[in-house]
Structure 1
């Protein structure tokens, strides 16, 4: 029973991510998510009482899915590869990550007007900062990276990913994925003393 409940929640959250990314939070209706997930509206409301709760859970779900993928065989590859994977995942590099970016953009807009959304955004950024910082610390501890200010470097790399990510989402003709990754990795390499080429993932 518990497993079935968990699977239903996962299906609803996956559907919510897709619908929110497609139409935006302001236009979303609970009925739309229920139909997309293949469940009744009553069952949807059983799990999520309102749109706000559903949005928060959907964002957290999307974030957790990315985190799970980033942890794949992380202990058996160099720290530079782990860091490159994280930076790659922070850009809209494939359809799933473009969907994640649409969710982030919805969160940013809501956070300007809603205190709960603001707290959620800050909390998720803290987690991103931790992921980047842990990869850098691992490389420093192993001797792969030069010692540096981990917090400042993590903040710099996150800011670069945000800036380039927005321009990639906008389809800015002056920016492409390869140049974005090269620039971001160049900034990392200059601080961490690693090779200038973006590592193979």
Structure 2
């Protein structure tokens, strides 16, 4: 049976999208494992199971691939954070998810943190990397701000300086995240979650501890 031109185009588009996603997932894995400076395009192509020609069709330079991989990884984390957990989902529950997603608490989040650390190192000396870092930090801070505003509007959180508090929560997560990435014996995941939650919850009038169900 002959495919119609529209179906054939759709099929090619689906294949291209699947190839691109395989490349981005492979890039995240390889960069996190060996560092961007050690990555060669063929490493990513081999991990993705595609030809180097296919890789270069989607990404012409390693820098473009790195930027796309960062956005891809960050976007997947954001989708998980913002997925509603039933009709009784609250701003407090979502803030708890943001805190958890801001730390290297799972293999996937450790991989994302490894990408962030690559970006931090480059941002200090490279204007393009600095632009990406600022852009992604703004997106992450916006998640927190939106959640804090939603909580205030719902009467769930006390009035407070949303912008300043979002920056504070973000920064505290970064600090504890570095310790967890190093596997420092001084800070456990549980200690980090409790400490961040204490800072995050106090100005909101939230007195409950970090929700234990979110720790799994």
Q: Please state which band the TM-score falls in when normalised by the shorter chain.
A: over 0.9
Q: What is the match of residue 140 of structure 1?
A: 152
1:171 partnered with 2:183 = yes
Which residue, 107, 110, 121 being the options, matches 1:98? 110
- The 3 A distance-change label for structure 1 pair 75 and 143 is farther
The answer to whether structure 1 residue 61 and structure 2 residue 72 are counterparts is yes
Deviation, 1:2, is 1.1
SS at match of 1:148: coil
Q: For residue 28 of structure 2, what is the aligned residue in structure 1? A: 17
* Separation in structure 1 between the aligned mates of residue 18 and residue 160 of structure 2, nearest angstrom: 43
Q: Which residue of 2 aligns with 1:49?
A: 60
Distance 2:191 2:203 in 1: 19
Per the normalisation by structure 1, the TM-score is 0.98
Count, aligned residues: 201
Q: Deviation digits for residues 114-166 of structure 1, max 9, x if unmatched?
A: 10000000000000010001111111000110010001110010010000000
- Residues 186 and 196 of structure 1 are in contact (CA less than 8 Å); yes or no, is this contact kept in structure 2? no
Aligned to 1:198: 210
Structure having the higher Rg: 2
1:22-55 Cα distance to aligned partner (Å, 9 max, x none): 0000000000000000000011000000100000
**Which 5+ residue runs of structure 2 have no aligned equivalent?**
1-11
Q: Counterpart of 1:145 in 2: which secondary structure?
A: coil
How far the C-alpha of 1:112 sits from its partner, in A, is: 1.1
1:32 paired residue number: 43
Determine helix, strand or coil for the equivalent of 1:49. coil
TM-score, scaled relative to structure 2: 0.91
- What is the CA–CA distance in structure 2 between the aligned matches of 1:74 and 1:121, rounded to whole Å? 30
CA-atom RMSD in angstroms: 1.0
Moved over 2 A (4+): none
**Where do 5+ consecutive residues of structure 1 fail to align?**
none
Distance in 2, matches of 1:3 and 1:147, equals 47
Partner of 2:6: none
The 1:74/1:150 distance shift into structure 2, 3 A limit, reads: farther
